[in-house]
Structure 1
Amino acid sequence: MTDEQTAEGDGRPPGIRITGVDHLVLTVADVERTVDFYRRALGMRPVTFGDGRRALAFGPSKINLHRAGREIRPHAARPVPGSADLCLVTDVSQDRVRAHLDACGVPVEQGPVPRTGALAPVTSTYLRDPDGNLIEVSTYDQAR
């Protein structure tokens, strides 16, 4: 069986198979304010690429940043700051997540609370970035 075929009875039609996320795009009011927040509060690595575009790298992925009103084409149909809801995974305890956010002066909206992750149960803490995007920081439970 090739990658383009599926195992009989697995419920997926033959065709492409998505294996991960390379990048996401956030439309933001202030790129540098966003870079500072994600670097300081969430440990992401600022990246400059192309003709001065900015991104936030983490693990094997990144978040590209578009300034509201100056989006790079093609872009979302309605690119609006504050409309995202992202779940990010960490390998540190939720106690450490909470302590770090408190030390950075980042208000916690909810958590730690149990949730259902893509691979297994998680414990999550919710916060908002400077544009009001909801950011969930999750740790997979140990029984994974």
Structure 2
Amino acid sequence: MASLPTSLDHCVIHVSDWERARKFYVDVIGCEAISRQGGYMFRLGDRQLNCHGKGVTAEPVARLPVQPGNSDLCFRWDGPIVGAVAHLKEQSVHIELGPVRRFGAQGDGTSVYFRDPDGSLMEFISYHG
């Protein structure tokens, strides 16, 4: 099968409290917060998290806005997973599962799972050892 000229540009999460989300996605995930429509979008490198929430209209394209707790996102942790565990503990973020072995976009890795303020599942995966 031939490769197509595509790559992931952005995905969408739900935000019920803009400032709580800004703090989480900046301090815990490491995103840049960009003001938009009374809220934020979050940029991580050349990828972006757009947000549905109060003051942001998902129409006409989204038939149903993303719901609280409805997303499941994995972020690559560049370093050993123990660094991600320590970071989450420093940020007072509860780890739901892990470290556990997982298979991600770069093959075998080790992951920890946690939640964002709206209950969406978050994962840090490390491919280091």
Query: TM class by shorter-chain length?
Result: 0.7 to 0.9
CA change 1:84–1:64 in 2 (3 A) is same
TM-score (norm 2): 0.86
Q: Which residue of structure 2 lines up, in the alignment, with residue 10 of structure 1?
A: none
- Residues 26-69 of structure 1: CA distance to partner in whole angstroms, max 9, x if unpaired? 122112211111111111111124x5552111121010112157
Q: Which residue of structure 2 lines up, in the alignment, with residue 57 of structure 1?
A: 43
How far apart are residue 110 of structure 1 and its match? 0.7
How far apart are residue 133 of structure 1 and its match? 0.3
Counting aligned pairs with the same residue, the percent is 35
Residue 56 of structure 1 aligns with an amino acid whose one-letter code is F
Pairs aligned (count): 128
Structure 2 residue matching 1:108: 3-state secondary structure: coil
**1:43-82 to 2 correspondence within 5 Å?**
43-49=30-36, 51-68=37-54, 70-73=56-59, 74-82=61-69
Moved more, 97-106 or 79-88: 79-88
Please list every run of 5 or more consecutive structure 1 residues that lacks an aligned counterpart in the other structure: 1-5, 8-15
Q: Which residue of structure 1 lines up, in the alignment, with residue 82 of structure 2?
A: 95
TM-score (norm 1): 0.78
Q: Is the 8 A contact 1:45 1:58 kept in 2?
A: yes
Q: Is the 8 A contact 1:28 1:82 kept in 2?
A: no
**Whose Rg is larger?**
1
